[in-house]
Structure 1
């Protein structure tokens, strides 16, 4: 049985209306919007920060437990063989989260932690002893726990409800362990879950689009002297919209996976180039030692509740950001992972992708740290004066062939954000229809909508872009509640599928809803 899917007009109108109101209020009184966002942000970080820490840690630990258990053999999506080859699959996964921090955060965050070590470690700021804590904190913020929340337990639950049960692929599926199939039938709670998920990811997507315009505008000015003006920024956003629209129009199996493969290939080329031209042994040695430092202190970092102001700037902010992305990323990873086992899914998302991310952060950020050690102020100075884009350009400026490498970074950044926009536009269309192959017009419409709103925000002012970016942390509060049932729901459905696939012969555990005769026939 497959539930007939149509566009959910209520969810479309409410989520679209809320985003429109945000833009209107920003035009009328941006200061008021910023104040509201900052107040809500502080409230969210203070009262939900500890919960988010526990949620992400539990999500990671339970996922690893499933992967190493007998349930790791369960094959997902009702397919005997994977739809995508391993490289294509990993490439598309990498372009979901790494796109957000692939270039500018990779250059600037390790440097920020180096010149001011995280408060949970001894203060060895700006010294050789401070390198490992700086890199380890960056690894943690973009590593195992961050990746796991985007596409492990939630993805397993989504794949079960959609591909095995024939129910719509929507964020409300995360509430299936609590409400059963009722959550899919004219449910106010279900519609609310879909709305907050769409609003959260829309905020998290329009922020990077706006920042892309600002960052590439700075880079083009640095390299070619092109004026870094509003017109330049909007032209960059327009180019991104064209790339993303073409990609999403041709579908997941063509445009999106092609763009992902190309971008991962370019990123690997840049990484190898910097590794050869930069401080090779420093990068390799510090990647190994910082990885060990992270593993040694992982639980300390995961559960730290000391300096609340610092947490709000770093770990709690990132956890809120990634939680805001989580429902849509889970949908996207579910769509590209048919035929994979639970073990393959969790190892790819929770282990392989974070290690690749950590190495990339070491290549870019570690190079910047080595330059800073040898010449204090060479990177930290421009970073403090002009922000993240200046850090990347300053690092490239210190390397042989730096001009060409800087051009490569700008291209990779444009394509990285394009892959985010096309995959998010696809998942929003899926959330509105419940179909994993939504209408092409709806997919392209959301790309164009994201681009237009981002251009308007840029026109209002840079602070409006920051405000909508920070609002994702506010929307992460309800999203984090929606994600909670996936902790036990994924285990329940893994157990049921193991029985169905003959991996185990045990009876489903108490609390797992027994399928009716009608459901079994479906």
Structure 2
């Protein structure tokens, strides 16, 4: 199969549209960007206050619902992966389009993204110095180490990954490659609401809600990366960390991910992902060999045990049994963020997994990737914990003020290689955000056009739009980027309703694919 055939990929195409896509999806999505920026320019404090109120209400009232949705998604997905139906292949191909390394690289870079790298150093140390409510260990003590990392594993582990592309990817794969429906969030609701949804305005509203959630979730890391890199370059090499520097960083970042998105999955996206995985492996190897090796091995073993034994305690903790602010800013915030990304990530996973079995797709997303994430958090965050306990660094004050950019840089400088390692981690973080930018620009374009090979110009449009929004919000101050991050929790409300039916339509789609491919009989 040639690359051009791969890019146009399936019999399910609906025809390339000459415009930027569905006018309703485009109007609502761009309207949100313009409204948010315009309202912020008019009354920055009013916007931040309104979002903070909605954020607090959503976290308090719907936090448990978000948690249960993630729990159910993970366990149902694992059940599907272990069933005979999971031998069915995605996309009517006998062999995978992408090699296993390329495929896993894209999954890791797209889904872990800048958020995981951004929090990997600071979050475990935060949970060391502020004991999570699921544990009763003394803050800052050696006994608190396993609980600190286990809490980080909960936020970035099995539940988070499963909602990003397991059951929903199965539903979309069957609907798109077999039934000819477009790779759009509305397709997830088609088994419930029928054909009318696919052609009516409600479908456009559903798609727009999911696009807005991803725009909010992606602009945040893009903006925060600019502040993190400018801070890091100022501390390491003395470059000014003003708005001008941040704009240059944004421009470079945007040019990388826009060019990658325009070139497509087979070129820029997979090349950037593969380079980033190799860089991450090199950094991980240096940390493991020359860092506190024995401490990291022992800590990982013990923390993984704590993660498993305290799994349900952490996953079902509510604002009734834990401080409301803690739930709001940690577990519920992260879970809502992942829910917001869910539909578009599932589109991307379904798109890159042609030729893979359902079992391979689910296990890669819901098991292998989370385990790799826990290893990464242990290497970076575990090393930070070691240095915090030994007194080599002290991040208590910085983390109590949620200064995670300071934490990342401080831990990086304490690692073997010092300044060189810090610069390497800044580069890694930048490319992780770029891999999110390119894949989400691609996925938003797929949603907007209803076509799985959208025009490169459409991909560029969405990539540039997100960079411009980040630039404007940074000009107003990092607080507005933070307000946009809080808005993610609010957008998770409608998006969660799009994901919910996959709990039963996912297994149904897997059974249908297995029967169509002759793996299971109709009786």
TM-score, normalised by the number of residues in structure 2: 0.95
Aligned to 1:504: 520
Provide the rounded CA distance (Å) in 2 between the counterparts of 1:266 and 1:236.
20
Q: What secondary structure sits across from 1:104 in the alignment?
A: helix
What is aligned with 1:365?
381
**378, 395, 414: which one aligns with 2:430:** 414
Residue 281 in structure 1 maps to residue 291 in structure 2: no
Indicate the SS of the match to 2:361. helix
1:216 pairs with 2:223: no
Alignment-derived partner of residue 468 in structure 1: 484
Q: Is the 8 A contact 1:102 1:413 kept in 2?
A: no
8 Å Cα contact 1:162-1:169 kept in structure 2: yes
Look up the SS of the partner of 1:151 in the other structure: coil
1:506 positional shift: 3.0
Residue matched to 1:161 = 175
Deviation of the 1:200 alpha carbon? 0.5
Distance 1:304 1:365 in 2: 23
Distance apart, 1:117 and its partner CA:
1.2
- Alpha-carbon distance between aligned partners in 2 of 1:454 and 1:414, rounded to the nearest angstrom: 15
Matching residue within 78, 82, 91 for 1:64: 78
Residues 124-148 of structure 1: per-residue CA shift (max 9 Å, x gap): 2111110000000001100000000
For residues 313-462 of structure 1, the aligned pairs below 5 Å read: 313-375=329-391, 378-384=394-400, 387-462=403-478
Larger mean CA deviation between 45-54 and 419-428 belongs to 45-54
Kept after mapping to 1: 8 A contact 2:114/2:429:
no
The CA deviation string for residues 410-463 of structure 1, in whole angstroms up to 9 with x for no partner, is: 111111110000000000000011111111100011111111111011111111
- Change in 2 beyond 3 A, CA 1:351/1:46: same
Q: Does 1:183 align with 2:193?
A: no
- Name the structure 1 match of 2:6: none
CA distance in 2, matches of 1:404, 1:384: 27
Where does residue 255 of structure 2 map in the other structure?
A: 242
- Alpha carbons 1:41, 1:473 under 8 Å: kept: yes
Residue 385 of structure 1 deviates from its aligned partner by: 6.1
Give SS of 1:401's match: coil
Instruction: Please give the residue correspondences for 1:94-243 in structure 2 after superposition, counting only pairs within 5 Å.
Output: 94-185=108-199, 187-243=200-256
Quote the offset at 1:104 in angstroms: 2.3
Q: Distance in 2 between matches of 1:145 and 1:196?
A: 22
In structure 1, the residue matched to 2:43 is: 29
Relative distance call for 1:95 and 1:2 in structure 2 (3 A) is closer
Selected match of 1:251 from 251, 264, 287: 264
Aligned partners of 1:379 and 1:395 also within 8 Å: no
Instruction: Work out the CA distance in 2 between the residues paired with 1:176 and 1:339.
Output: 24
Q: Does residue 494 of structure 1 match 2:504? A: no
Cα deviation, residue 310, structure 1: 1.5
In the aligned structure 2, how far is the partner of 1:453 from the partner of 1:365? 31
Question: In the aligned structure 2, how far is the partner of 1:326 from the partner of 1:375?
Answer: 40
Q: Does the aligned pair in 1 maintain the 2:126–2:400 contact within 8 Å?
A: no
- Secondary structure of residue in 2 paired with 1:118: coil
- C-alpha change, 1:39 and 1:24, in structure 2 (3 Å) is same
| Structure-1 separation of matches of 2:242 and 2:400 | 21
- Which deviations, in whole Å up to 9, do the C-alpha atoms of 1:81-137 show, x marking residues without a partner? 111111100000001222132332001100100001111211321111100000000
Write the distance in 2 (CA, Å) between the matches of 1:491 and 1:180.
18
| Deviations 1:18-76, CA, capped at 9 Å, x for gaps | 11100000111110010111011111111111111111000000000011111111111
Q: Which residue in 1 is equivalent to 2:62?
A: 48
Q: How many angstroms does 1:382 deviate by?
A: 4.4
Runs of at least 5 residues in structure 1 that lack an aligned partner in the other structure: 508-522
Q: CA deviation at 1:354?
A: 0.3
Moved over 6 A (4+): none
Counting matched residue pairs gives: 506
Which secondary structure state, in structure 2, belongs to the residue aligned with residue 177 of structure 1?
Answer: helix
Distance 1:172 1:386, change over 3 A: closer
Distance 1:32 1:506 in 2: 59
Q: Which residue matches 1:292? A: 305
Distance in 1 separating the partners of 2:79 and 2:415 = 44
Match of 2:30 among 1, 16, 33: 16
Q: Distance in 1 between matches of 2:451 and 2:403?
A: 41
**Structure 1 position 182, deviation (Å):** 2.7
Q: Distance in 2 between matches of 1:384 and 1:119?
A: 16
The more displaced of 78-87 and 129-138 is 78-87
Asked if 1 retains the 8 angstrom alpha-carbon contact of 2:124 and 2:381, the reply is yes
TM-score (ref. length: structure 1): 0.95
